[in-house]
Amino acid sequence: MIKTRGLVKKYGSFTAVDGVDLNIPTGEIYGLLGPNGAGKTSTIMMLLGIVKPTRGDIFLFGEPYNPKRLDLRKRIGVVPENHPHGMWSWMTAYEYLEMFAELFEVKDKERRIEKLLSQVRLSEVINKKIGEFSRGMLQKLSFVRALLHDPDILFLDEPISGLDPLGIKQIRDLILEENREGRTIFISSHLLSEMEKICHRVAIISRGRLMAEDRMESLLNNLSRERKILIDLESIPSELPDEVKRLSYVLDCRGDGNTLVITVPREGDYRKGLSEFLIKKNLIPLSIKEQMVSLEEAFVTITKENVEMLAAMGESR
Amino acid sequence: MNLRIHAARVIARRKTLETVLNPGFYIAQTAGLLLGYILITGFTGAIDSSGFSFELNPVYDFVGRAMVGAFGRTFVDKLFSEGPFLLALYISFLPSFFYLSINSVFRFSFEKKVGAIELISYGPADGTSCFLASYVKDILLTLLTIAILFIYFAVAAFNNNIVLGSRFLYSVPLILFTSSALYAYGILAAVATDNAVSAISLYMGIVIFFLIILMGTFSIVSGYVSTLSGVFTRIAGWLSPLFYWNLSLTGVESGKAGFFITGIVILSVLTGIVLFASHLIVGVKGVRK
């Protein structure tokens, strides 16, 4: 659905995007992560045809993308990070959406607008002026605008930034629902915990280069140098964490209520050894769980510590 | 329908609605009508047994002296030879013209800055659709303004028993074509610059430049203005809509319809060229804020 080959964008001597290769199949939710200035927005802008690539190829819908072909843009929906709603603050939500529905030549626009507004629970404000909308309402309205013409691809730039927890949940549910209908979704966000819940696959971009790209689970596995094993016990004797720490493969151990939190290296299965150790101490493990590093933790690892390692991974891919 | 034209049509409808909902549009219309009223009532007070003499009325005395200074006595005499309506039409049109053109230049620059054009361009539209919409809006509202002025002056002519005059009637379409070319220059200024202040400054500079060229075509100016105008005319006289406006009006005065039609045709071609140049600039510069 979306494919790029050697995508490069230079602004003078500064390289914003440096040879990005993407391959996003139909129906996937793809997340692009990266710190500020990493090249996320430049990449999206090139995919949208707003910024011309310095080098490289873009393929959308299986054919080379020509930004001058306005008909292809009818198959794309975009939710930008910032909305210039101030320009249309004199319009009601319906008038605003009607303008875009006409622009996209949406059939049966009235029903489509009402259906989408009801999906995001904005039906009651259909005749309210946009100038009176809260940030969360504007974000939902922007979503509705992007979905009006039933696009094949949805580009979302920081879609949940600035929303309250309920708003985040509503937008998350909407994204997942749209994806279930077969829509390909490309998200750029810094809210990593949300990306973790939504994306099938993520890529991490830093200094214009894709440092890593994988399915969420594999990426987290590859990124973590260590993992945690959580063992529930009836009670934790005070000396136990120190005794566990003395085991050769244990990096760290602490008690958290009745749960023993043990940090071990990423490679190897230590659950059997730990169980045997605890049983010898007359302690019965009630449950043993392995905890993956969160994407948030992995992201910190990427941007602060492991850029070189990831670059090497990227080259070997 | 071509998607770009379709988008321009949709956006133009909203822009037109937005403008007519703005009090500024009505203030400009009212100012124009008020100026027209002052000029018509002043004219009737400046007629004695020898006919019209602008010195008899304080308003006309002021306007007449300024225009004689800029364009010469012959020009002013010709201006009033068919009554007050020719001058009143142009003067009354100016507030709306400047309101519409400066508003469009400002809005386009502002929309680009806040990302509104970028947002529209995510869909089946581009920068050209947006400026075409602005242009169409200006033309529609200019037609409305001209219609209002025409009706107003027709009623005034009937009440005062004065004829509108052939030059007035020819000026009605001429004013539309001339202003449409100037609107196109406004768009060019907006797309060529990066902010609203630069855009408006460039546009006003262009209009003043064209006015200097026009003044140079009348022989009375002398000294520095004449020299400057001569240089400007040689370099860029052919770019000025006011040059072709004068050509058409001269054609009407001398009864040469060919001149009038040629002026209109060249104004249309010039508008097309300036809009095409704007299209090329938008293509190169893009719509990103």
Residue A73 — pLDDT band, cuts 50, 70, 90? Answer: confident
* Shortest alpha-carbon distance between residue B286 and chain A (Å): 7
Please tell me which of the candidates A51, A84, A91 has its beta carbon nearest to residue B119: A84
pLDDT tens-digit readout, B204-245: 999 998 887 777 666 555 666 667 767 777 777 788 999 899
The per-residue pLDDT for range B88-124, each reduced to its tens digit, is 899 999 999 999 999 999 999 988 888 889 889 888 8
Q: Label residue A104 by pLDDT band (50, 70, 90).
A: very high
**How far B80 CA sits from the closest chain A CA (Å)?**
45
Contacts of B113 (CB under 8 A, 6+ apart): B195, B196, B289
Mutate to test the interface with A, among B15, B119, B129 (most CBs of A within 10 A): B119
B287 contacts on A by Cβ (under 8 Å):
50
Q: How confident is the model over A113-133, as pLDDT tens digits?
A: 999 999 888 899 999 999 888
Of A52, A71, A99, the CB nearest to B10: A99
Helix A135-147 / helix A165-180 crossing angle, nearest 10 deg: 10
Q: Which residue of A has its CA nearest to B123?
A: A73
Domain ranges of chain B: 2-285
User: Chain B contacts of A48, Cβ < 8 Å?
Assistant: 122
**Contact present, A6 and A43 (Cβ < 8 Å):** no
pTM over 0.90: no
CA nearest to B19 within chain A? A90
pLDDT tens per residue, range A223-236: 666 778 999 999 89
Question: Do B120 and A51 count as a contact with CB atoms less than 8 A apart?
Answer: no
Neighbour-count burial of A19, counting CB atoms closer than 10 A to its CB (0-12 exposed, 13-18 middle, 19+ buried): middle
- The whole-number pLDDT of residue A88 equals 83
pLDDT at A83 over 80: no
pLDDT score recorded for residue A316: 45
B11 has a chain A CB within 8 A of its CB: yes
pLDDT < 50 stretches in chain B: none
Predicted local confidence at residue A222, as pLDDT = 67
The 8 Å CB, 24+ separation contacts for A279-284 are: A281/A237, A281/A240, A281/A243, A283/A233, A283/A234, A283/A237, A283/A240, A284/A233, A284/A234
- Cβ atoms B252, B82 nearer than 8 A: no
Q: Assess whether pLDDT exceeds 60 at residue A305.
A: no
Longest Cα separation, chain B? 68
CB contact under 8 A, B115 and A84: yes
Helix ranges restricted to H, A186-294: 192-198, 216-223, 240-245, 271-280
| pLDDT attached to residue A317 | 43
- Mean pLDDT score of chain A, rounded to an integer? 84
Residues of A in contact with B11 (CB under 8 A): 99, 103
Is the model's pLDDT at A303 over the cut of 60? no
Is B279 within 8 Å of chain A by CB?
no
Q: Closest partner residue to B123 among A51, A73, A82, by Cβ?
A: A73
